[in-house]
Structure 1
C-alpha cells in the first residue's frame, strides 16, 4: 500500500471532523437570532431547535464506536461525512420548524460519530511522544470551526440570511469526505484484525521506520491479553471500571460546567445584557479568536505539562470567571459595565476552557480505554457527553427565563468546583505513556487492589 499524502495532511484530514463539529456548534448561536423571527419560535421550541442535533449526536456516538470496531475507523468516518453533507443541505432548505428539527437530528448522527471517531483515529495514528498534541488537534479544529461559524454568522447578520449560515457547512463536509478517501486505516485496528503486513506498511510510512517493530510488539502484547475478550461484557469488568468512571465523569463535567451553553447561546447572552444583534455576533467572533489561539497553545503544551494539571488549572479559571460574571450581572443588571464585564468574563472562561477541558477531555477519552473496547468506551464517553449537553442546552433558555442569567452562571461555577474535586480524586495522568502501557497499568492496578483486598481478609 502506497500513500501519496504526507503525515501533516493525514492528521489534518483526520481531524477535519472536529471542524464539522465546531462549525455546527457555533453557527446555530448566530442563526438562532433570525430563525426565531422567521419560524416564530418560543423559548421551548428554540431549545428544541438547538438541542435536536444532540439526539442525533447521542445515537451517532452510541453506534459509531461499535461500528468502527467492526468495520474500521476509516469506513465509518466516510459514512459520517456523507450524512453530514445531507444534514447540512437539509437544514439550509428546511421550509418549517419540523423539517429543520428533523435535519438537525440527521446532522447530529454525523457530528456524534465524528466526536467519537476523530480523537480515537488520531490517537491510534500518533506516536506516543506527540499523541496528546495530535489528539488535541481535534479540539483545535473544533474551535476553528466555531470561529469560522461566527465569522459566517457576522457576514450574513445584516441580511438575516440564516439559511446561508447553515448551508455553508456543506463545504467542510465535502472536504472531509474527499480527504478521507486518501487516508490510511488505523494500524492498531488492522493488527486487531490480523492484517499485520498492511499495519506494518502504514506504521513504517508514518514513523519513517523508527520504532515500528517495538510499537507492533506492544500492540500485539495488548491484543494477546485481550484474546477472547471485548464487547460490552468486557466494559463491565472490574479492571476497566476506573477508566469507565474517569471517562463518564470527564464527559459529564465537561458539559455541566457550562461550556456549550456559553457557545450555543453567546449571542443571546450578549443581547440579554444590552448589545444589538450584529454587535452580539461580533462579540462572539472575538471570543472565537481567543478560543483558537488558546487551543493552539494547549496543543503545544499538553505533552509537556500533562493532562491532569491542565484540567485543574482550567477548572480554577473557569469557575472564577463564572462567579464574577454571575455576581456582576446580579448587582449591575443590564448596563454598559455589565455588557463589557460579560464579554471579558466569557472570553476568560473560553480561554481557560480552550486550554484545558476542551482539548484534554477528548484526548483522555481516546487514551484510557483498552484497544479491544476502545470504540465502545469512546462511544459510552461520547453518548454521556452528548446526553449531558442535551440536558444543559435544552433547559438553559427556560432556566434563564426562570432564574435569570446571574444565578445560572453561579450554578455552573459551583459545578466547576465539583469537577476540580473529581479530577483530583478519580483521574490518572496518561502523559508520556503508550496506549498499550496505559492498558497494562489498568490491569496491574486491578491486580494490586485484588491482592491488597485478599491480604486484608487474611489478616
Structure 2
C-alpha cells in the first residue's frame, strides 16, 4: 500500500494529466508559438506530445532490465531522477530564467520524469506486489493495493489545481520532490529484491520473517 501510495504522491497523475496546464502557466506555449509560428493551443499540445515521446523506449528498457538488474535496483536508481526533476521544475519557476531556457528546462524535466517513472514506479510495484503475497490472500491484497492507487490518484488529481493556485507550482513540485525522497528511503529500508526467486520461496521467506 505504501508503494502504491508513493506512486501517486511522487506526482505522476499531476504531471500526466496537467502537463498542458503546467507548460501554459510557465508560458511555454508563447515561446513555442513564436518560435515555430503556430497558435498557442497547438504549441501546448506539441510540447505535451514531445514530453511523452520517450516513454515507450523507457518502458521497454524497464521490461528488459526487470529480470536482469532486479525490481528493487530499478526503483533505487530511477527514484532519484524523479526527485531531481521535481527539484529542477520547482527552482525553474523561482529563478528568473529567459523564457526559452525555462521552456527547454520544463519540457526536459517532464520528459525525464515520465520516462524514468514508467521505467520504475510505473511497473515495479505491480510486479513486487503480485509476488510477495501468499497465494491464498493474493487476490484480496492486490485488490486493496488497487484501491489504494485509486484513492491516491483521486486525491492528487483533484487537489493539484487548487494547491497549484493556492501555494504555487514551486511549492507543489517541492512536495512531490520530498515524497520522491521519502519513497527512496522506504524502498531502501523495506522493499525486498525478488528477482529470480520462485514464488514458493518468497512466501516461505516472509513466513520466516513473520515468525522472527
Distance 1:398 1:260 in 2: 14
Cross-structure match for 1:281: 45
Cross-structure match for 2:11: 258
* 1:362 and 2:115 aligned: no
1:289 shift after superposition: 1.9
Distance 1:361 1:337 in 2: 35
Cross-structure match for 1:271: 24
5+ long unaligned stretches in structure 2: 30-39
Cross-structure match for 1:328: 92
Cross-structure match for 2:200: 436
Q: Secondary structure at the match of 1:357?
A: coil
Contact 1:267–1:277 (Cα < 8 Å) also in 2 = no
1:315-361 per-position Cα deviation (integer Å, ceiling 9, x unaligned):
11110111011001111278222222110111111122122111111
* 1:411 and 2:175 aligned: yes
TM-score norm. by structure 2 comes to 0.90
1:350 to 114, 119, 143: 114
5+ long unaligned stretches in structure 1: 1-247, 450-459
Cross-structure match for 2:67: 303
Cross-structure match for 1:376: 140
Distance 1:365 1:283 in 2: 35
Distance 2:25 2:84 in 1: 21
Cross-structure match for 2:36: none
Runs of 4 or more above 4 Å deviation: none
Larger radius of gyration: 1
Distance 2:142 2:121 in 1: 16
Once the two structures are superposed, the pairs formed by residues 228-247 of structure 1 within 5 Å of their partners are none
Cross-structure match for 1:154: none
Cross-structure match for 1:54: none
Task: Single out whichever of 411-420 and 350-359 deviates more from structure 2.
Answer: 350-359
Contact 1:319–1:413 (Cα < 8 Å) also in 2 = yes
Q: Secondary structure at the match of 1:262?
A: helix
Q: Secondary structure at the match of 1:431?
A: coil
Distance 1:435 1:252 in 2: 24
Which structure would you say has the larger RCO, counting Cα contacts within 8 Å and 6 or more residues apart?
2
RMSD of aligned alpha carbons: 1.4
Q: Secondary structure at the match of 1:358?
A: coil
Distance 2:126 2:198 in 1: 16
Distance 2:147 2:41 in 1: 33
Contact 1:273–1:334 (Cα < 8 Å) also in 2 = no
TM-score norm. by structure 1 comes to 0.43
Distance 1:440 1:292 in 2: 36
